[in-house]
Amino acid sequence: MTGIRCKLRALESGDEVTLPSHGLVRVSKQSKRQFEAFGPAAYDLRTVPHDIAYPETTHLTAELPVVGILGVVTTVVDGSPVPVSGTRAQALLVALALDPGRARSSQGLIEEVWPGEPPRSPKNALQTQISRLRSALPSGALESGPGGYRLVLNAEDIDLGRARALTRGAEGHLAQGHFQDALDLVVEALGLWRGEPIDSVRVEADAVGMALKSLQVAALLGLRRYGDALPHAQARAAEDPADERAAADLMRALHGVGRPNDALTVFADLRNYLAQRLGTDPSPATTALNAEILGHDAPKVLQTIGLRAAPNALIGRGDDIVAIEELLHTSRVTTVLGPGGAGKTRIAHALGHRAADSMPVAFVELASLRSGEDVASAIGATLGLTEADYTVGSLQVARVHSIHERLVDVFSTRRGLLILDNCEHVIGEVAAVVDELVAATDLVTVLATSRSPMGSTAESVFPLPSLGMLGPNSPATELFCVRARAVRPSVRLDPGAVAALCHTLDGLPLAIELAAARVKSMSVEDIGTRLHKRFALLRSTDRTRPERHRTLHAVIDWSWNLLDGTEQATLRRLCRFPAGFDLDAARTVAEWSEVEDVSFALDGLVNQSMLTVAETSTGVRYHMLETVREYGEEQLDASGEEEQVALRLRAWSTAVSTRISAGYAGGRPAEMVLLLEAEHDNLLSMMRHSFAHDVSGHVCTLFSVLGYFWAMRGAHSEVLNWADRVQSSIRRGIAETPDDNAVMCMLVLAAHFAYGRQLRRVARVRVDLRNLLRHRTDIAPGLRFNAEVLVHHIGGRGLARKLALATRSEYGDVRCNAYVVRAMLAQNSGRLHESIRDGERALGIARSRGDLWAVGSTSQTLASSYGLAGDQATAAEYYRTSADVMWTMHAYEESMQTRTFLAMALIGAGRVDEGRALVEELASGGMAQDWSPGNSGDTADPGPAHDSGARWDRAQQQSTSASLTAARAAADVEDGHVERGLAQFREALAIGGWPSQDASDPFMTILVCAAVGAHVLHGRAAEMREAVGELVRTPWNALVPGGFYDIPMLGAVACAVGSFEVQCGDRERGVRLLAASDRAVGRQDFPSMRIDRHVAAARAIVGDPTVDAGIARAAGITRHAALQEILSSLPVS
């Protein structure tokens, strides 16, 4: 393993030397002298004298194995693995490679190569295969003799043999407690697998692989990396339910991530399995581990966001890290200064990992930002600060929060480290955000990387020096040698030439690494000569260039000149994909004129380290470094191709948006979410570009999918930030927008304007939508139906007929949507049987279509209806389904909020312990909950839509906290801790901002009804007088957009106010309200809102006859009559 030192000890003298490998070998004095003559850089196993004893624990070279059998059977030719063609040749090589060095008889080989049916002339056929195989191996590697044929190779020249040696080495390190060294060897060994081995190898390969996976889990546990160990431990345990070691490792991992109950369940399952299948018990060691977990709390798991694991050793920065850590302990803000490519990002990650042992750490990358106005949004997106809304029954409740306020709130809860990377291009805005945070809370420490300081009084700066370059063993030369050998292990590295090259590169790590990558096809001397000329030219002609361009620009410029014309054209045309791209995107944007086949150009760019390639959930994607993208922008500007590239980017992004819209309409939202996650930043960048260039139709097309995506993720402020600009673009560009995208764009705007009470804007969208429906004929049926429902008057007779017809549509999404709308309208009217019936039908259709988003939202509607009907147990199951589906859709905030309603339903169903445990699980997340990965949006200049949105979403965090506090209060009251529970109800009202919040907020209305009801039922009604007074002054027709009444909500208000009146006011009116609330099917989200409990309390005060008379009177009227009774009976309506 490159970079790990090994020692050679002479048998006679015990002298030691070092070479770039690891392990221990013993050599004679003669062998030692021969080794010294070769020199460390030329050391190669195939040239070492035979009296060197090869170690059993490690290998001695970083070269590729000569023979590969862990996957496609290969041999190494000119330093690269080449597949062996032909199944017979593969079987022959495997037969020899499984026991290298030992002669195999001709007959034995024939039986293995042609099992069961030998050829007509077996020996001739074998000789033919031997001749072919000999040509594929290094000279002299295949030898024949009296005993047969053998491979003249060491065990570690075979990848399976090397894996075995690494396994033994890892076991040794593990036994000594050297967990990181053990993990390094395991990772290297697992990297030898290149696919599924052929049948004759599989058993042995699987045995080694299982041992390595077990060692990997043990090493991760030893490093206390429980979260990383968990998935591996789960996979190991699933392979063999009787494997006690695997079960014990899984128990340790679960305990380590704070899931002791799950760890205990693993032990219980193991014990049951052993007893039932084998008639035995777990070993004493495993039993002792179970007892230990029972008696101890889980270790505290600290949250990190955005930190990447180090891909290799950080060279030459130990002293710098120590110095920066000292600044972090004494300064609130520390900025690491240095030119581009100095390694600031790498050091920031290393510092973050070291700090993560004692505090939460968030790493925010700012390199992709094109505008300073996006700084706060980028930080918020990394921390997961979305504005997800609550859904209460059929009502969607949302309140926008200033992103600056959200940041202060998050960092005011506990000590944490915020790392801001690549700040130089937005340094003023970064300074403003950091100053605000530092002034608001003393719990946050900020580490920034930049080319220029913030200029803040709280800031300490650390100028990051270049890597040391003095001498042949300097950090700079070590970095070059390590990276060069990783690319071409056999490269000749002259110490003087390497030192001179590193000096020419100014000791900049990125420049050194880019240069080292070129040794794949060039010598060090050639690199030094060509690079030196480029640097001299750049520095001598433009001293005013930024430092980054005086260094990295020269490296990239030189790399650019190594590309052929096709590769250059491809790179400059693809530089506007900040989130990377796939092959289809590359073909659309770059495959024209001299680029006839872009795939060949991409291969060349990957080989030249100008692109990276990665497997993702959506397929293979290519990425450019940010500095390479910037260089590509320069070349694009100079090429005269900018306009053509912009047109092709619009065509590509329009096609992607159309595909996403069709996927949503076709019931494939989960697949579309993955696609949108991959392309989000690309589409957002292109939407900004199109808006800047007044391409209105393209803005609408892209907003249709981005806005819907933001809404699903709960990032409603992102929609509102763009709403003004998009609405101004609609009438200018809607003709250029594809049909489905145009409809979706308007639906997203209308929904957010409606919930923001912007009725004039809603009316304008409805007018535009009517015109669109009149003139567009190719709109997807489901989208057309949704649009037609929106333009209908919600209380009109035509809507009911339309819904009835739609439930018989030939299109599944139309039927599903129609049943959902009918279910919601029935719920609002208190017709719960109809609501549940239509909701169940909608859910069945959604499941049959595989439409996960419809399954989640419909399940939530059903949960609300069952809760209204008093069946909290069934409601809980539907809430659970909804939460799980939302999580699958990566709508994490929505899922967390739905789990809050699940907790309330569990408490209402009498499963108080389960509900309380869920509440505590949600509440205990603290920063971990807020710092989960979120979506990325845009912070535009606030307009009227944003200002209006702020009025209904600025208390999102308080609302979350209030809901959890209220659920905890309900659990306490149900458990008999009445005083504590009532106090927490009052605290929940205070957290939610009552009564200063908008009184028409449905969620706060429910919370107030629950709090009033709890106090009334326990003889403390007088303490709620102010709350009741505020409650009855609510403009009830504002509870639902459109101005109609939510009957169950008013029923809940009637129950709370009526019960209060029975105890503290007009008892006759109170009884009237209680009776009407039952007829109106009042909401019963909390146990303290249960109407039967309040009726029983009223009987105890006014007597059965009075209550019975009121109930009998109400039973004879309709629900709408009950609504009018409630409105007329409230003190203020």
> How would residue 957 be classed by pLDDT, with cut points 50, 70 and 90?
low
Where is pLDDT greater, at 470 or 633? 633
Regarding whether 1005 and 1058 lie in a shared domain, the answer is yes
- Enter the pTM of the model: 0.56
Boundary-marking domain end, from 522, 543, 562: 562
CATH code for the domain in which residue 326 is found? 3.40.50.300
CATH code for the domain in which residue 260 is found? 1.25.40.10
> How would residue 598 be classed by pLDDT, with cut points 50, 70 and 90?
very high
Residue 545 belongs to a domain: yes
Sign of the CA dihedral with 401 first, then 406, 409, and 414 last? positive
User: What would the mean pLDDT of 74-100 be, rounded to a whole number?
Assistant: 83
CATH code for the domain in which residue 579 is found? 1.10.10.10
What pLDDT sits at residue 569?
Answer: 97
Boundary-marking domain end, from 636, 654, 687: 636
What pLDDT sits at residue 419?
Answer: 95
> How would residue 23 be classed by pLDDT, with cut points 50, 70 and 90?
very low
Nearest to 1076 by CA among 1045, 1053, 1098, 1104: 1053
- 534: amino acid identity, one letter: R
User: What would the mean pLDDT of 286-313 be, rounded to a whole number?
Assistant: 75
Residue 853 belongs to a domain: no
pLDDT at 35 over 90: no
What pLDDT sits at residue 836?
Answer: 96
**CB-based contact 916:968 (threshold 8 Å):** yes
**CB-based contact 591:578 (threshold 8 Å):** no
What pLDDT sits at residue 1044?
Answer: 61
312, 420, 578, 642, 669 from 362: Cα distances, Å = 21, 9, 21, 37, 30
Count of structural domains, the chain: 8
Residue 745 sits in which domain range?
Answer: 643-776
pLDDT in tens, 686-722: 999 999 998 888 998 999 899 988 888 777 778 888 8
Regarding whether 677 and 736 lie in a shared domain, the answer is yes
Residue 969 belongs to a domain: no
Sign of the CA dihedral with 46 first, then 51, 56, and 62 last? negative
Where is pLDDT greater, at 584 or 3? 584
**CB-based contact 61:490 (threshold 8 Å):** no
What pLDDT sits at residue 44?
Answer: 30
Where is pLDDT greater, at 798 or 1114? 1114
**Average of per-residue pLDDT values in the chain:** 80
Which segment of 72-81, 490-499, 573-582 scores lowest on mean pLDDT?
A: 72-81
Regarding whether 241 and 170 lie in a shared domain, the answer is no
Give the whole-angstrom CA distance, residue 663 versus residue 675: 10
890 Cβ contact partners less than 8 Å away, ≥ 6 residues apart: 673, 677, 713
473 Cβ contact partners less than 8 Å away, ≥ 6 residues apart: none
Residue 946 belongs to a domain: no
What pLDDT sits at residue 925?
Answer: 55
pLDDT in tens, 1035-1061: 655 444 445 678 898 999 999 999 999
In eight-state DSSP terms, residue 276 is: I
pLDDT in tens, 146-187: 778 888 888 888 989 999 999 999 988 888 888 888 998 998
Regarding whether 649 and 769 lie in a shared domain, the answer is yes
User: What would the mean pLDDT of 668-679 be, rounded to a whole number?
Assistant: 86
What's the token pair of residue 836?
């549940």
What's the token pair of residue 225?
């990396």
Regarding whether 232 and 219 lie in a shared domain, the answer is no
Give the whole-angstrom CA distance, residue 325 versus residue 760: 56
Residue pointed to by tokens 């504005």 = 387
pLDDT at 555 over 70: no
Within 13 A of 733's CA, how many CA atoms are on the CB side? 24
Q: By 3-state DSSP, what share of the chain in percent is helix, strand and coil, each rounded to 5?
A: 65, 10, 30
User: What would the mean pLDDT of 1003-1011 be, rounded to a whole number?
Assistant: 90
Give the whole-angstrom CA distance, residue 1125 versus residue 1054: 10
What pLDDT sits at residue 259?
Answer: 81
**CB-based contact 266:257 (threshold 8 Å):** no
Residue 1120 belongs to a domain: yes
pLDDT in tens, 343-367: 888 899 999 988 887 788 889 998 7
Regarding whether 423 and 438 lie in a shared domain, the answer is yes
pLDDT at 418 over 90: yes
Regarding whether 312 and 213 lie in a shared domain, the answer is no
Which segment of 298-302, 667-671, 928-932, 1083-1087 scores lowest on mean pLDDT?
A: 928-932
**CB-based contact 460:335 (threshold 8 Å):** yes
168, 410, 464 from 348: Cα distances, Å = 35, 21, 11
Residue pointed to by tokens 């700066």 = 461
What pLDDT sits at residue 81?
Answer: 77
**Phi, psi at 622, each rounded to 5°:** -110, 145
Pairing of the two strands 361-365 and 390-392: unpaired
> How would residue 922 be classed by pLDDT, with cut points 50, 70 and 90?
confident
What pLDDT sits at residue 615?
Answer: 83
Regarding whether 218 and 92 lie in a shared domain, the answer is yes
What pLDDT sits at residue 308?
Answer: 82
> How would residue 1 be classed by pLDDT, with cut points 50, 70 and 90?
very low
**DSSP for 437-459, written as a single string:** HHHH-SSEEEEEEESS----TTE
What pLDDT sits at residue 795?
Answer: 60
Regarding whether 540 and 484 lie in a shared domain, the answer is yes
**Phi, psi at 337, each rounded to 5°:** -100, 145
> How would residue 617 be classed by pLDDT, with cut points 50, 70 and 90?
confident
Nearest to 67 by CA among 104, 34, 21, 100: 100
**CB-based contact 629:370 (threshold 8 Å):** no
Residue 1019 belongs to a domain: yes
Regarding whether 485 and 450 lie in a shared domain, the answer is no
Long-range contacts of 467-470 (CB under 8 A, 24+ apart): 467/315, 467/316, 467/317, 467/343, 467/502, 467/507, 467/508, 467/509, 467/512, 468/316, 468/507, 469/499, 469/502, 469/503, 469/507
Regarding whether 387 and 444 lie in a shared domain, the answer is yes
pLDDT at 297 over 60: no
Residue 721 belongs to a domain: yes
What pLDDT sits at residue 394?
Answer: 36
Burial of 791 (0-12, 13-18, 19+ CB in 10 A): middle
Regarding whether 173 and 92 lie in a shared domain, the answer is yes
In eight-state DSSP terms, residue 864 is: H
Helix (H) or strand (E) holding 408: helix 403-411
Residue 524 belongs to a domain: yes
**DSSP for 568-618, written as a single string:** HHHHHHTTT-TT-B-HHHHHHHH-STT-S-HHHHHHHHHHTTS-EEEEETT
What pLDDT sits at residue 552?
Answer: 57
Give the whole-angstrom CA distance, residue 76 versus residue 488: 13
Burial of 702 (0-12, 13-18, 19+ CB in 10 A): buried
Share of the chain above pLDDT 70, in %: 83
Where is pLDDT greater, at 705 or 794? 705
In eight-state DSSP terms, residue 298 is: P
pLDDT in tens, 820-877: 999 999 998 889 999 999 999 999 999 998 888 899 999 999 999 999 888 999 999 9
User: What would the mean pLDDT of 924-941 be, rounded to a whole number?
Assistant: 40
What pLDDT sits at residue 1039?
Answer: 47
pLDDT in tens, 563-588: 899 999 999 999 999 899 999 999 99
In eight-state DSSP terms, residue 1021 is: G
Q: What does the radius of gyration of the chain's CA atoms come to, in whole angstroms?
A: 35
pLDDT in tens, 134-148: 878 887 788 887 778
350 Cβ contact partners less than 8 Å away, ≥ 6 residues apart: 310, 314, 317, 321
Give the whole-angstrom CA distance, residue 770 versus residue 776: 10
pLDDT at 395 over 80: no
Boundary-marking domain end, from 607, 636, 665: 636
Share of the chain above pLDDT 90, in %: 29
